Amino acid sequence: MRFSVKQAAVVLFSFSLLACSSKEKLVLPEVENQIKPREVWSAQVGKGVAHYESGLKPLILNDKVYMASREGLVVAFELSSGKRLWTFDLRKDDTLSTLQKLRQRFSADNARIAGGISHGFGNIYLGTENGDLVALNAETGALVWRVQVPGEVLVSPAAGDGFVVVKLGTGSLIGLSPDNGEQRWIFENEQPPLTIRGVSEPVIDSGGVVYGTANGRVGVLVVDRGFQAWEENIATPKGSTDLSRLVDVDAKPIVIAGTVYTIAYNGELFALELRSGQQLWKRDYASFRNMTVQGTV
């Protein structure tokens, strides 16, 4: 967020210069590049996501790059050379039921992969708008398990502390066994009448699952039971219409050294204590996009 403020200051300063000396010809200074990037290799998997909202992103892990397409292809590349190591096609999975095969056959988007790719326990994980959650062996691409969940999977599952946790488009969170995808618990959230398309990725840290909700709240579940440890409000709906009252927490929480950093649409940027949810500080920033941290906080 600090970078955005600096950007705004530069823009305002530029406008002030133009206002004071609009007749002067501005000359752009020459910039000497410190690095000269070059393309080592490139690859394309599928046809892109078009106009669909998608949480798909590549994963770099152990000298490999994992990519997936909305249609159903999952591919592993060698990081150094771009050599294709393996390919798995969700549309050709023999474990699918007859109903699932028919639905994919007559769907223009086929598998409709929308969430992923994440990793843990030697596997990579991804999910679909059809309610599929899939685990593939990270080394071989072999199918480890594939299960149905009661909702769309729009963001990457989280894996850690003996569990895989997926957040659904309905706001519910489900904890599953990493061995076979068996459901261990489910935690349901109420959704407001209108929400932004998408949900925040869950984060597993120190035995807890950090999550955000569409009604402006952030909380932590005990990962091995799915019980709620705490939940705090970081945005309050305001206004007379459903649109003006949007307060979704769609940004992935950041957890560093026992502190949760989170932000809401039409809300604020908060730092909360991981163990208790106690507010450490807040700032007047709002967003539904993921944040990043540079340096120390």
Per-residue pLDDT at 19: 45
Q: Is residue 123 a contact partner of residue 160, using CB atoms and an 8 Å limit?
A: no
Q: What's the whole-number mean pLDDT along residues 178-188?
A: 96
Q: What's the whole-number mean pLDDT along residues 216-230?
A: 95
Query: Of 2-6, 141-145, 215-219, 282-286, which gets the smallest average pLDDT?
Result: 2-6
> Does residue 107 carry a pLDDT above 60?
no
- What's the number of CA atoms in the CB half-sphere (13 Å) around residue 66? 21
Beta bridge partners of 160: 163
> Does residue 204 carry a pLDDT above 90?
yes
Query: Of 4-8, 73-77, 134-138, which gets the smallest average pLDDT?
Result: 4-8
Q: Which residue has the tokens 């941290």?
A: 293
Q: How far apart are CA 53 and CA 46, in angstroms?
A: 16
Structure tokens that stand for 116 in this block: 């992923």
Q: Which residue has the higher pLDDT, 55 or 16?
A: 55
Could you tell me the domains of the chain?
Answer: 42-146 (2.40.128.630), 193-297 (2.40.10.480)
pTM: 0.80
3-state helix, strand, coil split of the chain in percent (to 5) is 10, 35, 55
- What confidence tens digit (pLDDT) does each residue in 150-160 have? 999 999 999 99
Name residues whose C-beta falls within 8 Å of residue 132's C-beta, 6 or more positions apart in sequence.
90, 100, 111, 146, 147, 148, 149, 153
Per-residue pLDDT at 261: 95
* Bond preceding residue 256 cis, omega within 30 of 0: no
Structure tokens that stand for 46 in this block: 């599928």
Q: Is residue 64 a contact partner of residue 79, using CB atoms and an 8 Å limit?
A: yes
Summary count for the chain: helices (H), strands (E): 2, 21
Q: What b-and-e string marks burial along 128-160, b requiring 16 or more CB atoms within 10 Å of the CB?
A: bbbbbbbbbebeebeebbbbebebbbbbbbbbb
Annotate 146-166 with three-state secondary structure: EEECCCCECCCCEEECCEEEE
Residue 101 CB-density burial (10 A; 0-12 exposed, 13-18 middle, 19+ buried)? middle
- What confidence tens digit (pLDDT) does each residue in 254-266 have? 999 999 999 998 8
Q: For residue 101, what is the enclosing H or E element?
A: helix 98-105
> Does residue 51 carry a pLDDT above 70?
no
**CA 255 vs CA 113, 206, 221, 224, 238: distances in Å:** 27, 10, 14, 19, 28
Per-residue pLDDT at 61: 94
Q: What's the whole-number mean pLDDT along residues 47-55?
A: 69
Closest CA to 194 of 265, 139, 123, 115: 265
